[in-house]
Structure 1
Amino acid sequence: MDSSSKIRADMRIIALLFSLICSATLMHAQKSGFDVNVVLHSKSSVGVEVFLDNTDQSFLSDTKGKIQVRNIEEGGHILTVFAEGYQSKSLEVNASDGLPFPVYKVELVKISYDLKEIEVVNENRSSLGMTHLKYIEVDGLYAAKKNEIILPDEMSVNKSTNNSRQIFSKVAGVNIQETDAGGLQMGIGARGLDPKRTTNFNTRQDGYDISADALGYPESYYTPAIEAVEKIELVRGAASLQYGTQFGGLLNFKMKRGNADKPLEIISRQTIGSYNYLGSFNSIGGSAGEWNYYGYFLHKEGSGWRPNTEFINNGFYAQIGRKLGSKWSVDLAFTHNYYNTQQAGGLTDRQFEVDPSVSLRDRNWFQVNWNVASATINGQLSKNLTINSKTFVLSSSRAALGFLGSIARTDTGGARDLILGEFNNIGNETRLIQRYNIKGNPGAILIGSRLYQGDTRNRQGKAGGDDNPNYSFLHPEVLEGSDFRFPSQNVALFTEVLIPLSSCWFLTPGARFEHITTQSDGYYTEQNRHPLTGELLSQNSYNASTQRERNIILMGMGVAWRCRGDIELYANASENYRAMNFSDIYVSNPNIVIAPNMQDEKGYTVDLGAKGKFFREVVSFDASVFLMQYRNRIGESLTTIENEEGVSRIVNYRDNIADARFIGVEVVEEIDFTQWLSPDATWRLTWFNNIALVDARYENAEVEEFNGNRVENVPVFNYKTGVNFKKGRFASGVQFTWIGDQYTDASNAEYFPDATVGVIPSYQVLDASMSYSWKRIKLEGSLNNISDQIYFTRRATGYPGPGIIPAQRRMMFMTLQVRI
């Protein structure tokens, strides 16, 4: 199909979509309903919410405590009335289509307890540390999408070091890269996508961007402190319609808020661990009237098990929110995170086999200074129409300093390479959600927009030849490497509709229009060196500038079946898109060569799944199959090139390799033995299994040898299993991880002398954590990599290598928490 035919086809689909929206809006003519008058003891009846029949339908009270429930199915219903700080109450009601509507009076009693004596001894049995997004949330629609919510505080995991292996243990198909001992950078990928700095996820905090540049450089150098995270939301490929162009989907860290029942609450967590690890996390929060506030300060320092791995990390977060009456609220937040870490460098395969603890680089450093501010407004424009608007500003930098030559070459001293990136972005996302009912079944229309402007400056040149972390160029006016600015602009309009076809079936069509402009302007220097001696043969500088504009339309459709409260079936298909990274345009790195005419990546994702509980809620499960199709996938392969002097060498060449097809099966199940054997017991024992099988292959490659090859960074087999036990104040968990082997380039090379490509062998890791609570004190302990396995999860082409980056060996951590 030519481009004009495709545009006409897309326009027809858009016309059909908006016809569906209009039809859905006009269809809700059913007028059955009733009224509820709510009385709260010791407080005005503002902010009361009622939930209907265990569905996503909810209704808010007016200033007098009156709730009008309309447009629902005639007949009997179960209504649950909820208000913060009060005991909820359920009652049977009857909806009538005759006037006057029935009126029900409900009195809620305030929860009272002695803060000095209260102890939490039995957490919510239903969540098991994992749950799912509702069909309609404050800031989005999530019906018919594969999604998960992680609740870190309900899991026995190592929170101080942001241990991804434990935190994401119940999320299917997650592959993890380990780079440091302190959890400074989180590297996760899913469904075969590269986990490097979580670059294939649309990574956010409270719904706003925190990556370096969402369009041109979506790497995440900042990881929110898990000790301050209330929940982690993941939405797979279908998230592209509401959140933008990423194949991996949405990864959103929802931060904690101040205690709603106390004006002041202080939590102090002090952690010590192996290899001189020290972590201090201190938070303060509370509520006073219409105000809510929360903040923390953290400090971490220590090292890994190899020499030259010392790090220091300081960060703070401050949030303040205020309710403006019963319908509006505003929330302001600021995040700062700084860390400086020495990097031990990579190893060749032989060096790793002989002594993986050795470090051949003692002058390599990495520094991050991350700052993000946000303002969020939530409002109720009418009874069923809400608005959510987030504005964010990011002003951050990262600097990589050291000797970038092949790990097979000795660092003999002299000037080091310095790569300095500065990121200044501003954006806004606004969403309108109109709720409606068709014969008592909930529906919603979401319409949203995104405005974004990014400005990245990336400089590369020579720095001092000492071994200190001095991030200053020797010749800042004329750099030996390059100096580029990468401005980018993005305007997006998107819509998605939840259409209830019946009480069981739901349809979710959606569309997104993107206008993207990316630019580059600067100069670069090319150096030709002898492949064996490293001798400089020639050097030339070139000015370069580019500008690209794209108009992109993404379409999607989903369907969900939920006729029983404990089982749901879903299917969806959505288009995806991913712009070239700035690092795909130019970088001076002797270990990699960039192709001059790369193109953006496009494709689509298809999901078919089921989730829920069965056998008297003993077994919880989430099972799915997926197909992800990539066009023009960017990757790396070993290629022979010849320079201007006629010298040939084998290099790691980055280009649009081919199309790629990913097919996978993902199954997560958990058995609650307590629910099975003794539902009323105070103890709790659960066992989970998490398996993902993924076949990812290249196809339609210009280089015939690549066709049928496995896609890099994709383990065919990914398995995690674990047992969790809780009784009273005691909780513990043991987890086993088994990851299959994976290649690191499109040629599926088994070995290369500089170790930048090759096989990542299969590995198995065992972790355990436990905790004990007593009144205001909690003691936690973690033992990671119990069997002291020696393995690696990454071959780096640049920092923190190049070469093999060994993972962490056995480490122990102890945390003392005091709540005041």
Structure 2
Amino acid sequence: MSRPFMPIRRLAATLLATAAAPALAAGDAAAPDAADPQASGTTTSQATSIIVTASRDNDRLPDQSGTLIFAGKLGDIAVMDQIPPVPSRNLRVAFADIPGLLVSEVSNGAWASLSYRGLGEPHESWNVLTLQDAVPAVPDMYSYPAGYFIPPLEMVERVEFIRGASGLLYGPQPGGAINYVMRGPRREAGVEGQARLTLGSWDARQGLASIAASDGTFAADGFIQYAEGDGPRRVNSDHEQTTARLRGHYMGETVTATLSLDYYQGRFGEPGGLSRARLEADNRDGSTARDRARLERFAPTLAIDWQAGENTQVTARAFYSRFERESWRQAGGSFGQVTPDANVLIRQLQVFDTAGIDLRLAHDFGANSQHSFTLGVLGHTSDAPVFVDKGASNADFTGSAGPLARAQRSGDTAAVFGELKLGFGDVQIVPGFRLERLRQRVVETLDLAQGSATGGAPGAPNGTLGNREDTQTVPLYGIGITWDASDTLRFVANASRAFKPLQYNDGVTFQAGIDSAGTFDASYAFTVEAGLQAEPVPPLRIDASLFRVEFENQVGFLAGPLPADPPRGAVGAGGARRQNVGSMRNQGIDLAVRLDLIGPEGIAKGENTLRLSTNLQLLDAEFTAGVADGFTPQYAPGHLLRSVLAYIGKDGSRAALTFTSVGDQEGADNNVADFFLPGYEVLDASVEWPVAGGFTIGAGVNNLLDEEYASRVRPGGGGGFDPGAPRHVFVSIGWKG
């Protein structure tokens, strides 16, 4: 087995031991509390993120932050301090304040599966760009944007989401950009830290420790989190993860700089999917007792912010990541059924070496600096070989029976982008552009048939080896408008064009039961959205918007059974064919209401806050052309409703009751009944309470009513319905000082 990460593991172990020795954890970084950016009377900032919540409410985007312009864009923020700490990657709870962001739950917690407005399958979040502190946190933001990495939610200050195509300031993805903004750095001189231990159902254990220190100019912080458990499924649902970060900061008067080193490793059992009958009989059952997955990431980043003049700011981000995705899956499985134990293991290793540099400049001009422009360039490159080997038995993790497939993948991208913010009193007009030049290449050097599922060497060649190279120059554009009709009423409109590049796995598939079209076309989206942000009375806030998305040449899949379509073969029941499935029209409404029943801004004017926040997306989605014409796109529920009743105490106490309701969903673009996902409702509850000496105790119950449901379904061997976790509990003890 390839072990290219061994030197990195030794380096990471040394760094983690250094960070964990004090058994402390980094607390909030900025001198003012993150939940109150105006507490000091000045704008707070983050050296590690070029997205900064300032000037407006802490859970709304500012008009401008550093070299980014947000005026004329619609987005959402989930502030983590407004709910109890979220353990175990429960994104359903963490993202409850972000309207329309669909969480397709993975039972072993191995990755994030997110989608937005029905724009494609959520598996591994391929249509949403995932960032950490405004830097891509995926194997390859263009050719393999899988959401394998989720930072510890206890160390996240807030989650920021830029809706749909208006995320052009980050990249071309049509589903928008989600950014995990981490806590830190500490700006006051001194040392602080925290620690947390969490225990839960199915032998879940999680420990977090970190420390932050500063002399006011130089600062350092680090954390380490370790988590393991058996998982909700009875067989092969275990997980074991280590996540760590070390950072050094320089915070000068005009320049701030941060060097970050991130490390993550996760090992997961993959219990496989269930048929509908097996799901209804026992939602903790499994089908693949021997499938495994390993994820590993090492990512250094250098971030520099320079206030070059009174009206000029420059940011630079240089990033690199080494990402490995390794899986072992038994051959010869079928949709939703138990894979025969005698079947051999197939090992697949994907290695991603990715690097990039992002340079941006912003300048304010005009009387009272009411106008601004930003210009930026991005260079991005990746190298991503694939190795597929056949094992000699069901316990051979080395692939000793011989290689099945080899492919070399590479990509390079250069982008230039800019925006102009024109201010005319209460009106701001923001046109923008992005020009992408992409080159992608996928070359197969070996592709053999699997042969016998129970042993033996690989079989004969599968056919002509693939050799695909694509070069594209793609212009994108957008325009946004804001109008502040009054101090409590703002109108926002945005129209933007986005682009989804071809993926490395378009045209090359290594999964049993999944066929692939020989050629693919890139996809384009055009989004129009208009909305308002209102505060009719101080305790009440309303956000509402209407949207329409036209998505051309969506890449999805048609579920089997399908007849042969040369050069593609027939696809059986439970299988699928990946291809361009057609163009869609998705339209609907987003509505979010926040009411402070008791609190600083509420009717009672108390010191503590009892807050009710509710958001609803109503979605009408349909294919309008192509082979899926007339069908409903997969993972486009008619409604997505979430409500949070949260108590936020001035002493640090927190309590939350979260309700989630998801409408019926199709799991395949041709609406095959075997892939239909019925709607469901889930209730989650959690609390954290301070006791004494900086200690807190916490507890929670997820899926309080023990709803039986599934929010995702996968085709092919080992595929099927992935059941949502039954009712489970956790308790925690924390310390901060």
Q: TM-score range by the shorter chain?
A: 0.7 to 0.9
CA contact (8 A) 1:441 1:503 kept: no
CA contact (8 A) 1:642 1:648 kept: no
1:9-24 alignment, distance < 5 Å: none
Which amino acid is the alignment partner of residue 623 of structure 1? A
CA positional deviation for 1:794: 1.0
Which amino acid is the alignment partner of residue 458 of structure 1? V
1:279 and 1:648 mapped to 2: Cα distance?
Answer: 43
Of residues 382, 388, 392, the one that matches 1:460 is 388
Alignment of 1:662 onto 2:591: no
User: Structure 1 512/350 Cα, relative in aligned 2: closer, same or farther at 3 Å?
Assistant: same
CA contact (8 A) 1:451 1:491 kept: yes
1:140-539 alignment, distance < 5 Å: 140-156=68-84, 158-180=85-107, 183-193=109-119, 194-307=121-234, 308-323=236-251, 325-404=252-331, 405-407=333-335, 408=337, 410-438=339-367, 440=368, 442-467=370-395, 471-475=397-401, 479-480=403-404, 482-500=405-423, 502-525=424-447, 527=449, 539=461
Specify the alignment match of 1:776 in structure 2.
694
Which amino acid is the alignment partner of residue 294 of structure 1? D
Specify the alignment match of 2:703 in structure 1.
785
2:613 and 2:258 mapped to 1: Cα distance?
Answer: 37
2:682 and 2:474 mapped to 1: Cα distance?
Answer: 43
Specify the alignment match of 1:797 in structure 2.
715
CA positional deviation for 1:738: 0.8
Of residues 622, 632, 645, the one that matches 2:553 is 632
CA contact (8 A) 1:496 1:509 kept: yes
1:361 and 1:263 mapped to 2: Cα distance?
Answer: 51
CA contact (8 A) 2:618 2:639 kept: yes
SS of structure 1 residue aligned to 2:81: helix
Specify the alignment match of 1:710 in structure 2.
632
Map Cα deviations across residues 190-217 of structure 1 (whole Å, 9 max, x no partner). 2123322222111111111111111111
2:457 and 2:568 mapped to 1: Cα distance?
Answer: 13
Which amino acid is the alignment partner of residue 760 of structure 1? L
CA contact (8 A) 2:563 2:570 kept: no
User: Structure 1 811/81 Cα, relative in aligned 2: closer, same or farther at 3 Å?
Assistant: closer
Specify the alignment match of 1:604 in structure 2.
526
> Between the two proteins, what is the percent identity of the paired residues?
21
1:627 and 1:204 mapped to 2: Cα distance?
Answer: 25
Alignment of 1:671 onto 2:595: yes
Specify the alignment match of 1:91 in structure 2.
none
CA contact (8 A) 1:262 1:287 kept: yes
Map Cα deviations across residues 630-689 of structure 1 (whole Å, 9 max, x no partner). 111111113211789998856411111111111010101011122586443233222222
Which amino acid is the alignment partner of residue 579 of structure 1? P
Which amino acid is the alignment partner of residue 578 of structure 2? R
Map Cα deviations across residues 333-373 of structure 1 (whole Å, 9 max, x no partner). 01101011111111111111222222232111111111111
Which amino acid is the alignment partner of residue 414 of structure 2? V
Deviates more, 1:736-745 or 1:401-410: 401-410
Specify the alignment match of 1:721 in structure 2.
643
Specify the alignment match of 2:50 in structure 1.
none
**TM-score where L is the length of structure 1:** 0.79
1:367 and 1:343 mapped to 2: Cα distance?
Answer: 10
Of residues 602, 606, 612, the one that matches 1:681 is 606
1:20-31 alignment, distance < 5 Å: none
Which amino acid is the alignment partner of residue 254 of structure 1? V
Of residues 616, 619, 641, the one that matches 1:694 is 619
Map Cα deviations across residues 439-498 of structure 1 (whole Å, 9 max, x no partner). x3622100000000011112222135244xx642225xx622x21111100000001011
Alignment of 1:734 onto 2:672: no
SS of structure 2 residue aligned to 1:309: coil
Map Cα deviations across residues 496-555 of structure 1 (whole Å, 9 max, x no partner). 01101x211100001111100000112342539899xx9999653543322110001001
2:536 and 2:220 mapped to 1: Cα distance?
Answer: 41
2:564 and 2:260 mapped to 1: Cα distance?
Answer: 50
CA contact (8 A) 1:240 1:575 kept: no
1:48 and 1:646 mapped to 2: Cα distance?
Answer: 62
User: Structure 1 207/644 Cα, relative in aligned 2: closer, same or farther at 3 Å?
Assistant: closer
Alignment of 1:763 onto 2:688: no
Which amino acid is the alignment partner of residue 810 of structure 1? R
User: Structure 1 190/642 Cα, relative in aligned 2: closer, same or farther at 3 Å?
Assistant: closer
Query: Is there any run of 5+ residues in structure 1 with no aligned partner, and where?
Result: 1-46, 50-55, 59-79, 86-123, 752-757
1:648 and 1:743 mapped to 2: Cα distance?
Answer: 19
Which amino acid is the alignment partner of residue 228 of structure 1? M
SS of structure 1 residue aligned to 2:278: helix
Map Cα deviations across residues 287-319 of structure 1 (whole Å, 9 max, x no partner). 114112121011001022212211111121011
Alignment of 1:653 onto 2:613: no
User: Structure 1 505/810 Cα, relative in aligned 2: closer, same or farther at 3 Å?
Assistant: same
Specify the alignment match of 1:95 in structure 2.
none
Which amino acid is the alignment partner of residue 718 of structure 1? L
2:602 and 2:437 mapped to 1: Cα distance?
Answer: 57
CA contact (8 A) 1:145 1:238 kept: no
SS of structure 1 residue aligned to 2:231: coil
Map Cα deviations across residues 583-622 of structure 1 (whole Å, 9 max, x no partner). 112012222100001111012111101113122x111121
1:362 and 1:376 mapped to 2: Cα distance?
Answer: 44
Deviates more, 1:355-364 or 1:166-175: 355-364
CA contact (8 A) 1:523 1:541 kept: no
User: Structure 1 630/328 Cα, relative in aligned 2: closer, same or farther at 3 Å?
Assistant: same
Which amino acid is the alignment partner of residue 425 of structure 1? T
The number of aligned residues is 682
2:371 and 2:131 mapped to 1: Cα distance?
Answer: 27
User: Structure 1 511/208 Cα, relative in aligned 2: closer, same or farther at 3 Å?
Assistant: same
1:536 and 1:263 mapped to 2: Cα distance?
Answer: 62
CA positional deviation for 1:82: 3.4
2:44 and 2:585 mapped to 1: Cα distance?
Answer: 48
Specify the alignment match of 1:562 in structure 2.
484
1:352 and 1:677 mapped to 2: Cα distance?
Answer: 46
Map Cα deviations across residues 222-266 of structure 1 (whole Å, 9 max, x no partner). 111111112211111243431111011111111111332242112
Map Cα deviations across residues 773-806 of structure 1 (whole Å, 9 max, x no partner). 245112221110001111111112368x411111
Which amino acid is the alignment partner of residue 684 of structure 1? T
CA positional deviation for 1:410: 3.5
SS of structure 1 residue aligned to 2:398: coil
**TM-score where L is the length of structure 2:** 0.88
Of residues 111, 114, 134, the one that matches 2:62 is 134
SS of structure 2 residue aligned to 1:527: coil
Query: Is there any run of 5+ residues in structure 2 with no aligned partner, and where?
Result: 1-29, 46-53
1:204 and 1:540 mapped to 2: Cα distance?
Answer: 38
CA positional deviation for 1:273: 0.5
